[in-house]
Chains A and B, each alone.
Chain A
Amino acid sequence: MAEAATLTMRGIAKAFGATPVLHDVDLEVRAGEFLTLVGPSGCGKSTLLRILAGLEAADAGTVSIGGRDVTGVRAADRDLAMVFQSYALYPHLSVAANMATPLVQRELSAFGRLPVVGPLISRGARKRIAARVEEAAEILEIHTLLERKPGQLSGGQRQRVALGRAMVREPVAFLMDEPLSNLDAALRVHMRAELAALHRRLQRSFVYVTHDQAEALTLSDRMAVMRGGRILQLGAPDEVYNDPATLEVALFIGSPRINTLPGETDGAGRVSRMGVPLPLRAVDGRAGPATVAMRPEHLAVRSFPSPDGLTGRLTYAENLGADVYLHLAVGDGAHVVIARAEPQVAARLSSGDDVHVEQVRGQALVFDARGDRMALAEEAAAVEAVA
């Protein structure tokens, strides 16, 4: 049984023709961790995964697995397993045969793989393979489907077979390319929990590609937010959520989206939002335009306007049962701010009402004109505590 391995990529660059897809990407996947590559479509996350798998060659950079440089090593010799978005099951083989394929290909001799005489020569090895397939099928609860063809299975069952095919071999790491995106919403949530359990059980490195930030937040030990062929931020989900390095990360992670309003900083670093000064001060006192961002759940409805709060007209109340998201038009309707409210609070409001909200938890995030996060001085925290 192989150990979980560290996967390292250094200076990976890739272009398809004249279109650059990845720019000098560095990534280290720690042994046994669940790392998610998340980003909008076309950000290069799948390409990065395929370079790690060896299915695609990078134009520059190195890949190493467990300390061994595998840059020039073909995918079959990297000892990785991959789950594809389309599952890529062999339609002519039964579930059992699909799951056994990696073992048959790797553990039987060329003679043992021959069509008719093969099974006779390699009867013992084939028995062991069948036992391992059975075992994996038990774990995934598909042992009753082993004789079926993939065409006779539902999406969720195919997904499990694809996982099973990856699992039987006990590779050093699992690569998953949007494995849940073809499932319906309820099944996706269910499979998410199963994947997390599977990761705990297998103790292997998982590299998981998704465009769904909810999957990234719920599953990962660490997540890498990608955009435009670069990793914008790599960190634990909490860290990325609460402490985004750039405006792009802040906008991509979190649902509903983080609220952004135009603001500026003066020479002393004092931050104002739409002309209203806030009790925040940037460490680096540069004057210039800025963006002030607030998470919807950090805002609360107040009965009276507060000096550093916001007032907007309620345009739409999005009721999710446990929470209601209030869409407020602020600044003469030029900007929309979304605030989370409890249903009881929201029930008292109706469309067109003026609603006052205030930052009650966390801190507003300030980004400079380039979209980089601005560090805020400590005194701001003290001001917040008073408020």
Chain B
Amino acid sequence: MTRQAARGHAHLWFVGPALFLMFAILLLPIAVAAGLSVTDYGLGNLSNEFVGLQNYERIFTRSTYEKMFGATFRYVGVVVPVSVALGLGAALLIHSLGRMGDLYKTIYFLPVMAALIAMAIVWEFALHPTIGYVNRGLELSCGTVLERLSFFAEGCDRTFPLWLTDRDTAIWTVAFIGVWQGFGFNMVLYLAGLTGIPRELYHAAEMDGARSAWERFRLVTWPMLGPTTVFVVTISIIRSFQVFDMVEAFYPQGGGPSKSVYVMMFAIYEKGVQQNLMGIGAAITVVFLGFVMVLTLLQRRLIERRTHYV
């Protein structure tokens, strides 16, 4: 082989390993999933048939999947804005503290580090309708002025909410735990963003007459956190779409009261693994990927262009 030829192929050796890995562990599985999603494949089946878009048709027409979308979007719709806002709020408060900041940082970050399965058991006890300390704490209000509020009046009269076992409250309770578990992570990202803001900008804002904390936030902090916010929101969306372990821990059988907590990841697991309906499981996976993809691209187009100051 001549030297020119050797040099001509050198670039392939450099990008080759990365390209191979990307195909083997990213693109190929997605392609396989997409392929399976148009069949009625099940593990161990000797033959499988091409069923066209039937699986997708089911996803968008059957009421089970309507519930799946409902639960997923409720969860994402609550957890993303609340955990981003709480993460930012906690970061701002901790950033303004001196030494105590590290303590709070650790406290808020603990749920992120803890195993969610273990935490789910604790929450299950805490939220137990009769012996959980949440409802027992609420019962303490009976007979006090708080009873004038309709929530307490109804609770004392009959029963306080059943939280995880009531189909009206279950998804919101799960979302609350999702926020509790996730906002510490956003807080850490925002804290990193806050330390990157030059102090001189705040001084400039003060000299320019920005007197209130709100004006300083609007003029300096929020715009300077723009790139961090893009990242935090994207990560939060992806993480919320992926919620699974908590649902599996609370409701091993079938996604909560009247399937009100039947989130997408759980549906994929139930269909594809538990019921061995690979075709429909793969179809949900593709839809799931589509959502995350669309939201991420939207983010990039709408926000990132405005927040990266060249």
B307 contacts across to A, CB distance below 8 A: 92
B162 contacts across to A, CB distance below 8 A: none
Report how far A86 CA is from B208 CA in the complex, Å: 16
Taking CB atoms and an 8 Å cut-off, the chain B residues in 274-310 that contact chain A are 306-307, 309-310
Taking CB atoms and an 8 Å cut-off, the chain B residues in 202-233 that contact chain A are 203-204, 206-211, 215, 219-220, 223-224, 226
* B132 CB within 8 Å of chain A: no
Report how far A165 CA is from B206 CA in the complex, Å: 13
Report how far A74 CA is from B203 CA in the complex, Å: 11
A86 contacts across to B, CB distance below 8 A: 198, 200
Residue of B nearest to A177 (CB): B200
Q: How far, in Å, is B137 (CB) from chain A's closest CB?
A: 41
Report whether A165 and B309 are in contact in the complex, using a CB–CB cutoff of 8 Å: no
The range of chain B's interface size is 20 to 34
A42 contacts across to B, CB distance below 8 A: none
Report whether B309 and A150 are in contact in the complex, using a CB–CB cutoff of 8 Å: yes
Q: If the complex has contacts A149-B310, A151-B310, are A88 and B200 also in contact, measured as CB distance less than 8 A?
A: yes
Report how far A91 CA is from B223 CA in the complex, Å: 8
Report how far A59 CA is from B124 CA in the complex, Å: 55
Report whether B201 and A90 are in contact in the complex, using a CB–CB cutoff of 8 Å: yes
**Which among B198, B201, B203 has the highest number of chain A CB atoms within 10 Å?**
B203
Q: If the complex has contacts A80-B207, A84-B200, A84-B203, are A105 and B310 also in contact, measured as CB distance less than 8 A?
A: no
Report how far A102 CA is from B223 CA in the complex, Å: 17
Report whether A90 and B206 are in contact in the complex, using a CB–CB cutoff of 8 Å: no
B208 contacts across to A, CB distance below 8 A: 76, 101-102, 105-106, 165
Report whether B209 and A91 are in contact in the complex, using a CB–CB cutoff of 8 Å: no
Taking CB atoms and an 8 Å cut-off, the chain B residues in 30-71 that contact chain A are none
Taking a contact as CB atoms closer than 8 A, the residue among B207, B211, B220 that contacts A82 in the complex is B207
Report whether A149 and B206 are in contact in the complex, using a CB–CB cutoff of 8 Å: no
Taking a contact as CB atoms closer than 8 A, the residue among B198, B210, B226 that contacts A92 in the complex is B226
A84 contacts across to B, CB distance below 8 A: 200, 203-204
**Once A and B bind, how many residue pairs between them come within 8 Å at the CB atom?**
73
Report how far A113 CA is from B2 CA in the complex, Å: 70
A80 contacts across to B, CB distance below 8 A: 207
Report whether B209 and A105 are in contact in the complex, using a CB–CB cutoff of 8 Å: yes
Report how far A92 CA is from B206 CA in the complex, Å: 17
Residue of B nearest to A115 (CB): B218
Q: If the complex has contacts A76-B209, A105-B210, A106-B209, are A90 and B219 also in contact, measured as CB distance less than 8 A?
A: yes
* A55 CB within 8 Å of chain B: yes
Residue-by-residue, is A326-355 near B (CB-CB < 8 Å gives 1, otherwise 0)? 000000000000000000000000000000
* A152 CB within 8 Å of chain B: yes
Q: How far, in Å, is B280 (CB) from chain A's closest CB?
A: 46
Residue of A nearest to B206 (CB): A75
Report how far A24 CA is from B209 CA in the complex, Å: 29
Report how far A151 CA is from B309 CA in the complex, Å: 6
Residue of B nearest to A85 (CB): B200
Report how far A101 CA is from B203 CA in the complex, Å: 13
Taking a contact as CB atoms closer than 8 A, the residue among A54, A85, A102, A152 that contacts B310 in the complex is A152
**Which among B207, B219, B224, B307 has the highest number of chain A CB atoms within 10 Å?**
B207
B310 contacts across to A, CB distance below 8 A: 149, 151-152
Residue-by-residue, is A63-80 near B (CB-CB < 8 Å gives 1, otherwise 0)? 000000000001111001
A75 contacts across to B, CB distance below 8 A: 203, 206-207
* A53 CB within 8 Å of chain B: yes
Report how far A81 CA is from B208 CA in the complex, Å: 7
Residue of B nearest to A105 (CB): B209
Report whether B207 and A92 are in contact in the complex, using a CB–CB cutoff of 8 Å: no
Residue-by-residue, is A161-193 near B (CB-CB < 8 Å gives 1, otherwise 0)? 000010000000000000000000000000000
Report whether A88 and B204 are in contact in the complex, using a CB–CB cutoff of 8 Å: yes
Report whether A88 and B198 are in contact in the complex, using a CB–CB cutoff of 8 Å: yes
User: Would you list 14 pairs from A and B whose C-beta atoms are within 8 A, ordered by A residue?
Assistant: A54-B206, A74-B211, A75-B203, A76-B206, A88-B198, A88-B203, A92-B309, A93-B223, A102-B207, A106-B209, A113-B215, A149-B310, A150-B309, A151-B309
Q: Which residues of B contact A (CB under 8 A)?
A: 198, 200-201, 203-204, 206-211, 215, 219-220, 223-224, 226, 306-307, 309-310
Known: A84-B203, A113-B215. 15 other contacts (CB 8 A): A75-B207, A76-B206, A76-B208, A76-B209, A76-B211, A88-B201, A90-B204, A92-B224, A92-B306, A92-B309, A102-B209, A105-B208, A105-B209, A105-B219, A151-B310
